[in-house]
Amino acid sequence: MTTVLGHNQYGKAETRVVRITRDGDTHHVRDLNVSVALSGDLDDVHYHGDNTKVLTTDTTKNTVYAFAQDGGIASPEEFALRLARHFTGSQPAITSARIRIEEYGWSRTGETGHSFVRDGGEIRTAQIRLDGAGCEVVAGLRGLVVLNSTGSEFRGFVKDPWTTLPESRDRVLATEVEARWRYGRHDGDGEPDWDAVHRRSRAALLDAFADTYSYSLQQTLYAMGSRVVDAGPEVDEIRLSMPNKHHFLVDLAPFGVANPTDTGAVYFAADRPYGLIEGTVLRDGAPARLPTD
Ligand SMILES: O=c1[nH]c(=O)c2[nH]c(=O)[nH]c2[nH]1
Protein backbone atom coordinates (compact mmCIF):
# COMPACT_ATOMS: atom_id res chain seq x y z
CA MET A 1 0.00 0.00 0.00
CA THR A 2 1.45 3.39 -0.97
CA THR A 3 -1.15 5.55 0.76
CA VAL A 4 -2.82 5.83 4.14
CA LEU A 5 -6.03 7.53 5.12
CA GLY A 6 -5.67 10.92 6.74
CA HIS A 7 -8.24 13.02 8.60
CA ASN A 8 -11.77 12.37 7.42
CA GLN A 9 -15.27 13.41 8.41
CA TYR A 10 -18.74 13.01 6.99
CA GLY A 11 -22.33 14.00 7.61
CA LYS A 12 -25.21 15.89 6.03
CA ALA A 13 -24.36 19.49 5.19
CA GLU A 14 -26.84 22.38 5.15
CA THR A 15 -29.99 20.83 6.53
CA ARG A 16 -32.47 23.69 6.56
CA VAL A 17 -34.79 23.40 9.52
CA VAL A 18 -37.40 25.90 10.65
CA ARG A 19 -38.95 25.36 14.10
CA ILE A 20 -42.14 27.26 14.86
CA THR A 21 -43.27 27.25 18.46
CA ARG A 22 -46.84 28.30 19.22
CA ASP A 23 -47.25 29.99 22.56
CA GLY A 24 -50.97 30.70 22.29
CA ASP A 25 -51.33 33.45 19.71
CA THR A 26 -47.67 34.41 20.03
CA HIS A 27 -45.47 32.31 17.77
CA HIS A 28 -41.67 32.00 17.73
CA VAL A 29 -39.47 31.16 14.73
CA ARG A 30 -35.98 29.65 14.70
CA ASP A 31 -34.60 29.23 11.19
CA LEU A 32 -31.36 27.24 10.94
CA ASN A 33 -28.96 25.78 8.41
CA VAL A 34 -27.28 22.81 10.15
CA SER A 35 -24.16 20.97 8.98
CA VAL A 36 -23.08 17.75 10.70
CA ALA A 37 -19.54 16.34 10.39
CA LEU A 38 -18.68 13.10 12.22
CA SER A 39 -15.38 11.29 12.57
CA GLY A 40 -13.92 8.32 14.42
CA ASP A 41 -13.24 4.68 13.66
CA LEU A 42 -14.06 4.84 9.97
CA ASP A 43 -11.07 3.13 8.34
CA ASP A 44 -13.12 0.14 7.18
CA VAL A 45 -15.49 2.12 5.01
CA HIS A 46 -12.63 3.97 3.32
CA TYR A 47 -10.27 1.01 2.86
CA HIS A 48 -12.77 -1.79 2.26
CA GLY A 49 -16.19 -0.29 1.59
CA ASP A 50 -17.46 -1.90 4.77
CA ASN A 51 -20.40 0.23 5.97
CA THR A 52 -20.90 -1.55 9.29
CA LYS A 53 -19.98 1.53 11.36
CA VAL A 54 -21.52 4.16 9.11
CA LEU A 55 -24.42 6.12 10.53
CA THR A 56 -25.81 7.42 7.24
CA THR A 57 -25.78 11.10 6.37
CA ASP A 58 -29.49 10.64 5.73
CA THR A 59 -29.91 9.60 9.36
CA THR A 60 -27.98 12.63 10.59
CA LYS A 61 -30.38 14.83 8.59
CA ASN A 62 -33.41 13.05 10.04
CA THR A 63 -31.97 13.45 13.54
CA VAL A 64 -31.73 17.20 13.04
CA TYR A 65 -35.43 17.37 12.17
CA ALA A 66 -36.48 14.98 14.95
CA PHE A 67 -34.48 16.81 17.63
CA ALA A 68 -35.86 20.16 16.42
CA GLN A 69 -39.35 18.82 17.05
CA ASP A 70 -38.57 16.91 20.23
CA GLY A 71 -36.95 19.43 22.52
CA GLY A 72 -37.16 22.43 20.23
CA ILE A 73 -34.35 24.86 19.46
CA ALA A 74 -33.48 26.97 22.50
CA SER A 75 -30.46 28.48 20.70
CA PRO A 76 -28.09 27.39 17.91
CA GLU A 77 -25.40 26.57 20.49
CA GLU A 78 -27.72 24.45 22.67
CA PHE A 79 -29.10 22.61 19.64
CA ALA A 80 -25.61 21.91 18.27
CA LEU A 81 -24.43 20.62 21.67
CA ARG A 82 -27.43 18.32 21.95
CA LEU A 83 -26.78 16.86 18.48
CA ALA A 84 -23.04 16.44 19.09
CA ARG A 85 -23.61 14.66 22.38
CA HIS A 86 -26.17 12.37 20.76
CA PHE A 87 -23.96 11.32 17.84
CA THR A 88 -20.86 10.70 19.96
CA GLY A 89 -22.86 9.13 22.80
CA SER A 90 -24.95 6.71 20.73
CA GLN A 91 -22.42 5.47 18.16
CA PRO A 92 -19.32 3.70 19.52
CA ALA A 93 -17.43 4.36 16.27
CA ILE A 94 -18.10 8.10 16.34
CA THR A 95 -15.61 9.81 18.64
CA SER A 96 -15.88 13.36 17.40
CA ALA A 97 -18.65 15.59 16.10
CA ARG A 98 -18.49 19.04 14.60
CA ILE A 99 -21.83 20.79 14.21
CA ARG A 100 -21.98 24.06 12.32
CA ILE A 101 -25.10 26.19 12.38
CA GLU A 102 -26.11 29.39 10.64
CA GLU A 103 -29.19 31.13 11.97
CA TYR A 104 -31.34 33.50 9.91
CA GLY A 105 -33.21 35.95 12.12
CA TRP A 106 -36.89 36.84 11.84
CA SER A 107 -38.40 39.93 13.51
CA ARG A 108 -42.02 40.50 14.31
CA THR A 109 -44.12 42.70 12.05
CA GLY A 110 -47.69 43.89 12.49
CA GLU A 111 -49.82 43.16 15.53
CA THR A 112 -50.65 39.50 14.92
CA GLY A 113 -48.05 37.57 16.89
CA HIS A 114 -47.59 35.31 13.85
CA SER A 115 -46.24 37.72 11.22
CA PHE A 116 -42.50 38.01 10.66
CA VAL A 117 -40.05 39.81 8.40
CA ARG A 118 -36.70 38.25 7.68
CA ASP A 119 -33.77 40.22 9.08
CA GLY A 120 -31.31 41.73 6.57
CA GLY A 121 -28.08 40.12 5.47
CA GLU A 122 -26.79 39.39 8.97
CA ILE A 123 -26.31 35.72 9.92
CA ARG A 124 -25.68 34.29 13.39
CA THR A 125 -23.19 31.41 13.48
CA ALA A 126 -22.31 28.64 15.94
CA GLN A 127 -19.89 25.73 15.80
CA ILE A 128 -19.55 22.93 18.36
CA ARG A 129 -16.63 20.52 18.33
CA LEU A 130 -17.03 17.60 20.72
CA ASP A 131 -14.32 14.98 21.12
CA GLY A 132 -12.35 13.12 23.79
CA ALA A 133 -10.60 16.34 24.78
CA GLY A 134 -13.89 18.07 25.61
CA CYS A 135 -16.18 20.53 23.96
CA GLU A 136 -15.32 23.75 22.17
CA VAL A 137 -17.98 26.31 21.32
CA VAL A 138 -17.29 29.03 18.77
CA ALA A 139 -20.11 31.43 17.97
CA GLY A 140 -20.39 34.65 16.07
CA LEU A 141 -21.99 36.52 13.22
CA ARG A 142 -21.33 37.74 9.73
CA GLY A 143 -22.88 40.30 7.42
CA LEU A 144 -23.11 43.03 10.08
CA VAL A 145 -22.61 46.19 7.98
CA VAL A 146 -21.74 49.41 9.81
CA LEU A 147 -20.69 52.92 8.81
CA ASN A 148 -19.36 56.00 10.61
CA SER A 149 -19.86 59.14 8.51
CA THR A 150 -17.18 60.99 10.51
CA GLY A 151 -14.88 60.36 13.49
CA SER A 152 -12.31 58.54 11.35
CA GLU A 153 -8.86 59.61 10.16
CA PHE A 154 -6.11 57.78 8.33
CA ARG A 155 -2.69 59.42 8.13
CA GLY A 156 0.93 59.02 9.17
CA PHE A 157 1.35 55.82 7.15
CA VAL A 158 4.42 54.69 5.19
CA LYS A 159 5.07 56.57 1.97
CA ASP A 160 7.12 54.67 -0.57
CA PRO A 161 7.51 55.34 -4.32
CA TRP A 162 4.16 53.62 -5.01
CA THR A 163 2.07 55.43 -2.45
CA THR A 164 -0.64 57.67 -3.86
CA LEU A 165 -3.27 57.54 -1.07
CA PRO A 166 -3.84 61.03 0.34
CA GLU A 167 -3.89 61.44 4.10
CA SER A 168 -7.34 61.96 5.54
CA ARG A 169 -8.47 63.75 8.70
CA ASP A 170 -12.15 63.04 8.15
CA ARG A 171 -13.21 60.00 6.19
CA VAL A 172 -16.11 57.58 6.01
CA LEU A 173 -15.35 54.32 7.82
CA ALA A 174 -17.49 51.37 6.81
CA THR A 175 -17.13 47.63 7.12
CA GLU A 176 -18.97 44.32 7.08
CA VAL A 177 -18.10 42.57 10.33
CA GLU A 178 -17.43 38.86 10.49
CA ALA A 179 -16.83 37.79 14.10
CA ARG A 180 -16.12 34.38 15.66
CA TRP A 181 -15.77 34.19 19.42
CA ARG A 182 -14.62 31.19 21.44
CA TYR A 183 -16.12 30.31 24.78
CA GLY A 184 -13.90 29.04 27.56
CA ARG A 185 -13.91 25.22 27.74
CA HIS A 186 -16.66 23.66 29.80
CA ASP A 187 -18.10 20.18 30.12
CA GLY A 188 -21.78 20.87 30.20
CA ASP A 189 -22.46 22.17 33.69
CA GLY A 190 -23.42 25.78 34.08
CA GLU A 191 -23.60 26.51 30.37
CA PRO A 192 -23.81 30.18 29.45
CA ASP A 193 -27.07 31.78 28.39
CA TRP A 194 -26.12 31.54 24.72
CA ASP A 195 -28.72 33.99 23.42
CA ALA A 196 -27.86 36.56 26.10
CA VAL A 197 -24.11 36.38 25.41
CA HIS A 198 -24.78 36.65 21.69
CA ARG A 199 -26.92 39.77 22.22
CA ARG A 200 -24.34 41.29 24.56
CA SER A 201 -21.42 40.57 22.20
CA ARG A 202 -23.24 42.01 19.19
CA ALA A 203 -24.08 45.13 21.19
CA ALA A 204 -20.45 45.42 22.33
CA LEU A 205 -19.25 45.26 18.71
CA LEU A 206 -21.70 47.97 17.64
CA ASP A 207 -21.04 50.22 20.65
CA ALA A 208 -17.26 50.00 20.22
CA PHE A 209 -17.54 50.73 16.50
CA ALA A 210 -19.71 53.78 17.19
CA ASP A 211 -17.74 55.29 20.04
CA THR A 212 -14.15 54.66 19.01
CA TYR A 213 -12.57 57.71 17.38
CA SER A 214 -10.68 55.85 14.66
CA TYR A 215 -7.16 56.40 13.42
CA SER A 216 -7.29 53.14 11.43
CA LEU A 217 -9.62 50.19 10.93
CA GLN A 218 -6.99 48.07 12.73
CA GLN A 219 -7.41 50.21 15.88
CA THR A 220 -11.21 49.99 15.59
CA LEU A 221 -10.98 46.19 15.20
CA TYR A 222 -8.96 45.87 18.39
CA ALA A 223 -11.36 48.12 20.29
CA MET A 224 -14.34 46.05 19.10
CA GLY A 225 -12.73 42.72 20.02
CA SER A 226 -11.62 43.97 23.45
CA ARG A 227 -15.12 45.24 24.20
CA VAL A 228 -16.55 41.76 23.57
CA VAL A 229 -13.97 39.99 25.79
CA ASP A 230 -14.29 42.60 28.55
CA ALA A 231 -18.09 42.40 28.53
CA GLY A 232 -18.16 39.19 30.61
CA PRO A 233 -16.26 36.06 31.62
CA GLU A 234 -17.55 33.69 28.93
CA VAL A 235 -15.58 34.69 25.82
CA ASP A 236 -11.80 34.07 25.86
CA GLU A 237 -10.92 34.81 22.25
CA ILE A 238 -12.49 36.63 19.31
CA ARG A 239 -11.37 36.84 15.71
CA LEU A 240 -12.63 39.64 13.50
CA SER A 241 -12.46 39.89 9.74
CA MET A 242 -13.37 43.36 8.52
CA PRO A 243 -13.19 44.51 4.89
CA ASN A 244 -12.62 48.24 4.52
CA LYS A 245 -15.65 49.29 2.49
CA HIS A 246 -13.95 52.27 0.88
CA HIS A 247 -15.96 55.43 0.25
CA PHE A 248 -13.94 57.64 -2.11
CA LEU A 249 -14.81 61.30 -2.54
CA VAL A 250 -15.95 61.89 -6.12
CA ASP A 251 -13.91 64.49 -7.96
CA LEU A 252 -16.54 66.95 -9.17
CA ALA A 253 -14.00 69.68 -10.01
CA PRO A 254 -14.20 68.94 -13.78
CA PHE A 255 -17.84 70.10 -13.60
CA GLY A 256 -17.00 73.13 -11.51
CA VAL A 257 -18.86 71.58 -8.54
CA ALA A 258 -17.35 71.63 -5.05
CA ASN A 259 -17.54 68.46 -2.93
CA PRO A 260 -16.76 69.62 0.62
CA THR A 261 -16.80 67.07 3.46
CA ASP A 262 -17.66 69.65 6.14
CA THR A 263 -21.15 70.37 4.82
CA GLY A 264 -22.01 67.19 2.88
CA ALA A 265 -20.26 65.26 0.15
CA VAL A 266 -20.77 62.68 -2.57
CA TYR A 267 -18.79 59.42 -2.41
CA PHE A 268 -18.18 56.51 -4.72
CA ALA A 269 -18.80 53.29 -2.74
CA ALA A 270 -16.18 50.95 -4.22
CA ASP A 271 -16.82 47.22 -3.88
CA ARG A 272 -13.35 45.96 -4.90
CA PRO A 273 -10.52 45.81 -4.35
CA TYR A 274 -10.92 46.33 -0.62
CA GLY A 275 -8.52 46.41 2.30
CA LEU A 276 -9.10 43.35 4.46
CA ILE A 277 -8.26 43.86 8.11
CA GLU A 278 -8.24 40.75 10.30
CA GLY A 279 -7.15 40.13 13.86
CA THR A 280 -7.65 38.12 17.03
CA VAL A 281 -8.17 39.59 20.50
CA LEU A 282 -7.51 37.31 23.47
CA ARG A 283 -8.21 37.42 27.16
CA ASP A 284 -4.78 37.89 28.73
CA GLY A 285 -3.30 34.39 29.23
CA ALA A 286 -5.91 32.55 27.12
CA PRO A 287 -4.60 30.18 24.43
CA ALA A 288 -5.02 31.20 20.77
CA ARG A 289 -7.14 28.48 19.23
CA LEU A 290 -9.22 30.14 16.53
CA PRO A 291 -7.93 29.44 13.02
CA THR A 292 -6.20 32.39 11.40
CA ASP A 293 -6.79 31.50 7.75
O1 LIG B 1 -7.77 51.88 8.27
C2 LIG B 1 -7.02 51.65 7.31
N3 LIG B 1 -5.98 50.79 7.46
C4 LIG B 1 -5.10 50.50 6.45
O5 LIG B 1 -4.14 49.70 6.64
C6 LIG B 1 -5.33 51.13 5.21
N7 LIG B 1 -4.69 51.08 4.00
C8 LIG B 1 -5.37 51.90 3.16
O9 LIG B 1 -5.08 52.07 1.94
N10 LIG B 1 -6.42 52.48 3.79
C11 LIG B 1 -6.43 52.03 5.08
N12 LIG B 1 -7.24 52.27 6.12
Please determine, for residue 219, whether its predicted confidence score (pLDDT) is greater than 70: yes
Residue nearest to atom 6 of ligand 1 (CA): 275
Q: CA 197, CA 203: separation in Å to the nearest integer?
A: 10
Average pLDDT over residues 139-165: 98
Q: How far is the CA of 277 from the centre of ligand 1 (A)?
A: 8
Ligand-binding annotation for 157, yes or no, is: no
Average pLDDT over residues 52-58: 98
pLDDT value, residue 138? 98
pLDDT digits (tens, 9 = 90+) for 164-211: 999 999 999 999 999 999 999 655 568 999 999 999 999 999 999 999
pLDDT digits (tens, 9 = 90+) for 75-123: 999 999 999 999 999 999 999 999 999 999 999 999 999 999 999 999 9
Instruction: Out of 244, 249, 274, give the residue to mutate to test ligand 1, the one with the largest number of ligand atoms within 8 Å of its CB.
Output: 244
Measured from the CA of 215, which atom of ligand 1 is nearest? 1
Q: How far is the CA of 274 from the centre of ligand 1 (A)?
A: 9
Please determine, for residue 43, whether its predicted confidence score (pLDDT) is greater than 70: yes
The DSSP secondary structure of the chain, one letter per residue, reads ---------B----EEEEEEEEETTEEEEEEEEEEEEEEES-HHHHHH---TT---HHHHHHHHHHHHHSS--S-HHHHHHHHHHHHHHH-TTEEEEEEEEEEEEEEE-SSSSS-EEEEEEEEEEEEEEEETTEEEEEEEEEEEEEEESSSB-B-S----TT--PPPBSS--EEEEEEEEEEEPP--STT---HHHHHHHHHHHHHHHHHHPPBS-HHHHHHHHHHHHHHT-SSEEEEEEEEEE--EEEP--GGGT----TTT---EEE--SS-EEEEEEEE-TT----S---
Domains 8-132 and 138-293 share a fold: yes
Q: CA 10, CA 60: separation in Å to the nearest integer?
A: 10
Q: How far is the CA of 283 from the centre of ligand 1 (A)?
A: 26
Ligand-binding annotation for 112, yes or no, is: no
Average pLDDT over residues 245-252: 97
Q: How far is the CA of 244 from the centre of ligand 1 (A)?
A: 8
Ligand-binding annotation for 251, yes or no, is: no
Instruction: Out of 154, 163, 242, give the residue to mutate to test ligand 1, the one with the largest number of ligand atoms within 8 Å of its CB.
Output: 154
**Active site residue ranges:** 12, 57, 246
Please determine, for residue 2, whether its predicted confidence score (pLDDT) is greater than 80: yes
Q: How far is the CA of 174 from the centre of ligand 1 (A)?
A: 12
ipTM of the complex: 0.99
Measured from the CA of 214, which atom of ligand 1 is nearest? 1
Q: CA 280, CA 257: separation in Å to the nearest integer?
A: 44
Pick the CATH number of 138-293 from 3.30.70.270, 3.10.270.10, 3.40.50.300, 3.40.50.720: 3.10.270.10
- Which residues line ligand 1 at a C-beta cut-off of 6 Å? 154, 165, 216-218, 244, 275
pLDDT value, residue 186? 57
| Model confidence pTM above 0.90 | yes
Average pLDDT over residues 45-73: 98
Question: 1 pLDDT band (50/70/90 cuts)?
Answer: confident
pLDDT value, residue 188? 56
Domain boundaries, the chain: 8-132, 138-293
Measured from the CA of 173, which atom of ligand 1 is nearest? 1
pLDDT value, residue 190? 82
Tell me the torsion sign for CA atoms 69, 74, 75, 77: negative
pLDDT digits (tens, 9 = 90+) for 225-240: 999 999 999 999 999 9
Ligand-binding annotation for 91, yes or no, is: no
Fold entry, domain 8-132: Urate Oxidase (3.10.270)
Ligand-binding annotation for 63, yes or no, is: no
Average pLDDT over residues 142-149: 98
